[in-house]
Amino acid sequence: MVSEKIADRTPPVGKNNEYIVNVTGLNHDGEGVGRVDGFTLFIQGALLGEKVRIKVLKVKKQYGYAKLLEVLEPSPDRTEAACPIYKQCGGCQVQHLSYDAQLAWKHRMVVDNLERIGKLKVRMDGAGSGSAIGLGETDEGVDGVSEGLSSGISGGRSYEMTGPEVIVHPTLGMDQPWRYRNKAQVPMGESEAGLVGGFYAKGSHRIVDMDVCLIQHDRNDEVVRRVKQISREIDISAYNEETRQGLLRHVVVKFGFRTGEVMVVLVTNGERIPKAEILIRRIREEIEGVRSICQNINRQHTNVIFGEETRVLWGQDVIYDMIGDVRFAISARSFYQVNPVQTKVLYDKAVEYAGLTGSETVIDAYCGIGTISLFLARHAGKVYGVEVVPEAIEDARRNAELNGIANVEFAAGKAEEVIPRWKELGIDPDIIVVDPPRKGCDPLLLDTILAMSPKRVVYVSCNPSTLARDLRILEDGGYRTVEVQPVDMFPHTVHVECVIGIQRIDT
Ligand code: SAH
């Protein structure tokens, strides 16, 4: 096998050496893929089709990383990154790729996963199909890069395709792919000049001050700027990870795009905030739309942002926002999609693929605060939602009430444990919707779906590789993947979200 040969031999490149390479692919981290004597190098900032000069940074057994020194022949899809701190920050990975090319690349990335991992026969619909903008070579065949899936070195594409074709539509992008985020979570630190807040300098824990983030709503930027300014003026200290001294760890801001409501959460390393009254008064006076100021206490030595305890310092414990005509209460710690404009697009597709007529029984697994459940309830007989975080289920119930939606029922627990119990109780869904985290559906849940045998399954996925793995299981169990709609929820990053319509074969 080729893999053994590669593993046995000494890498033909040396650290700090410079090379000129042709970039033959773009991997799922947005890195260019190039080869020196057959040895794979990943190059941040390089694009497919480019000729580049690089310097090797790190060499592993089967692959390495290189720094882009110079683009000798640029791709026609290359564009100037709009953000001045793009390279230092690392929060966005593909700003140097034009937006249209980003959408086409995400389209191809979904197709590639469905073919390679899901072994599905795919038809690319519309723009992007056959386009020059593609993946080229990916990191297939490089161990440990395919996100925990055991594909390892899978040796090309000689597998057999099964079933009829799956249609993969072009990625639905944004008209204005900037300033789309409704939530900011900004780490605070101390510099010689005092309190700073922004982002961790790549590969370190040093915080670089930042006032403008082009993917955040400007209100979030403004709130963070103000809170930093006020904190400096009244001498609130920032947390230091090494000494574990100092108070303010993160400033978290949530903004309701439709309502204009703002929540400010101060994550602190301790209970007492000196001059708290002044801080609260000034935030209320100086920031438009503030409805809630909360404190979350996190004394742990950890990267996790939130601690267990949240207090309301002033105002409500939630802010409200709307998606379509459904209203949602959002608390400090509950999960709410970060791009509300595209969330509407995503949920509308989920409802469309569910194909409801008004009488169906639907299960919404991984329901969070009940967003998709409530969207579906309008068109269904009854919706059952399940979610592992108990507070989210409390929010979901509150949201149902807020909207006067009575045909929903929510349960807290693991989908793979609760849904088999529902089956025992005789609940017989016509449609099951799943929206799992990145690791995909639990195998037990997939077994239960097959045993319950709903007419349709709608899969909302934030990770095409685990999606493809799960689709293979559903296909082998008697379902057919009909169509896939990628939706760009996170412009300028490598993330891609999809909605998938899946049908029982005999229907
Ligand atoms: N559908 C929601 C949330 C999707 S995020 C929305 O669009 O807003 C995925 C959710 O799955 C998270 O809320 C997470 O807490 C939940 N989750 C993770 N593992 C789970 C499990 N085993 N069972 C049920 N829910 C789970």
347 is in an annotated binding site: no
* pLDDT digit string, tens, across residues 345-386: 999 999 999 999 999 999 999 999 999 999 999 999 999 999
Inside any domain, residue 169:
no
Site residues for ligand 1, CB cut-off 6 Å: 335, 337, 366-368, 371-372, 386-389, 392, 414-416, 435, 437, 442
Q: Which residues participate in catalysis according to the annotation?
A: 462
Question: What pLDDT is recorded for position 138?
Answer: 59
Average pLDDT over residues 415-440: 98
- Report whether 387 belongs to an annotated binding site: yes
Residue 143 pLDDT grade (very low, low, confident, very high; cuts 50, 70, 90): very low
Q: What is the C-alpha to C-alpha distance for residues 230 and 171, in angstroms, rounded to an integer?
A: 42
Same domain as 29, residue 152: yes
Those residues with Cβ within 8 angstroms of residue 76's Cβ, 6 or more apart along the chain or in another chain: none
**332 lies in a domain?**
no
Helices (H), 403-452: 415-424, 443-452
CA distance 4 to 131: 34
Residue 336 lies in a domain: no
pLDDT value at 157 more than 90: no
- The answer to whether position 447 is within a domain reads yes
Given 133, 163, 193, the domain boundary residue is: 163
Of 328, 375, 388, the one to substitute when testing ligand 1's pocket (max ligand atoms within 8 A of C-beta) is 388
Q: Tell me how many domains the chain contains.
A: 3
Q: What range does the domain containing 294 cover?
A: 183-323
Under 8 Å CB-to-CB from 419, ≥6 apart: which residues? 363, 365, 386, 445, 448, 449, 452
Give the CA diameter of the chain. 69
Q: What is the pLDDT of residues 290-316, one digit of tens each?
A: 999 999 999 999 989 999 999 999 999
Tokens of 358: 């008004």
Residue nearest to atom 12 of ligand 1 (CA): 368
Average pLDDT over residues 485-504: 98
Q: Which atom of ligand 1 is nearest to the CA of 389?
A: 15
How would you class 278 by CB atoms within 10 Å of its CB: exposed for 0-12, middle for 13-18, buried for 19 or more?
middle
Residues 222 and 306 in one domain: yes
- Indicate if 46 and 99 belong to the same structural domain: yes
> Residue 36: left (phi > 0), alpha (psi -120 to 50), or beta?
beta
pLDDT given for residue 156 in this prediction: 35
| pLDDT per residue as tens digits for the range 34-79 | 999 999 999 999 999 999 999 999 999 999 999 999 999 999 999 9
Tell me the CA–centroid distance for residue 365 and ligand 1, in Å.
Answer: 7
Instruction: Identify the pLDDT of residue 335.
Output: 87
The answer on whether 125 is annotated among ligand-binding residues is no
Judgement on whether residues 319 and 211 belong to the same structural domain of the protein: yes
The residues, ordered by sequence, that sit 6+ positions from 75 with a Cβ below 8 Å of its Cβ are 47, 48, 49, 50
| Residue 499 domain-assigned (yes or no) | yes
366 is in an annotated binding site: yes
Task: Give the span between the Cα atoms of 222 and 253, in whole angstroms.
Answer: 10
Which atom, in ligand 1's list, is nearest to the CA of 415?
23
Co-location of 280 and 361 in the same domain: no
Domain stop point among 323, 353, 377: 323
176 in a domain, yes or no? no
DSSP letter for 97, please: B
347 plus 463 within the same structural domain: yes
Question: Which CATH number goes with the domain that contains 158?
Answer: 2.40.50.140
Q: What is the CATH number of the domain that holds 370?
A: 3.40.50.150
Of 196-205, 267-276, 346-355, which gets the smallest average pLDDT? 196-205
Q: Which of 293, 323, 353 is the last residue of a domain?
A: 323
User: Ligand 1 centroid to 428 CA: how many Å?
Assistant: 22
Q: Does the pLDDT value for residue 155 go beyond 90?
A: no
Mean pLDDT of the chain: 91
State the pLDDT at residue 162.
Answer: 54
Q: Is residue 123 part of a domain?
A: yes
pLDDT, residue 8, reads 60
Pocket test for ligand 1, best of 328, 387, 444, 467 (most atoms within 8 A of CB): 387
Note whether 449 and 457 are within 8 A (CB). Answer: yes
- For tokens 């920031």, the residue is 287
**Closest residue to atom 22 of ligand 1, CA basis:** 414
For residue 315, what is the domain's CATH number?
2.40.50.1070
Give the per-residue pLDDT at 334.
84
Note whether 311 and 395 are same-domain residues: no
Answer whether residue 70 is part of any domain: yes
For residues 90, 93, 99 and 103, what is the CA-based torsion angle, rounded to 10 degrees? -140
One domain, residues 96 and 129 = yes
55 and 21 housed in the same domain: yes
Tell me the pLDDT band of 154, cut-offs 50, 70 and 90. very low
Index of the ligand 1 atom closest to the CA of residue 392: 13
3-state secondary structure of 348: helix
Tell me what percent of the residues of the chain surpass a pLDDT of 70.
Answer: 91
Q: Which of 320, 323, 414, 331 is nearest to 373 (CA)?
A: 323
Q: How far apart are CA 131 and CA 170, in angstroms?
A: 12
Co-location of 229 and 156 in the same domain: no
On the CB side of 59, CA atoms within 13 Å amount to 15
Pairing of strands 497-504, 456-461: antiparallel
Beta bridge partners of 19: 54
Same-domain status, 306 and 368: no
Banded pLDDT at 126 (limits 50, 70, 90):
confident
Whether residues 157 and 188 share a domain: the answer is no
- CA distances to 421, 435, 494 from 361, rounded to whole Å, are 16, 17, 35
Residue 298's nearest CA partner among 267, 272, 274 is 267
What is the C-alpha separation between 150 and 414, in angstroms, rounded? Answer: 25
308 with 234: CB under 8 angstroms? Answer: no
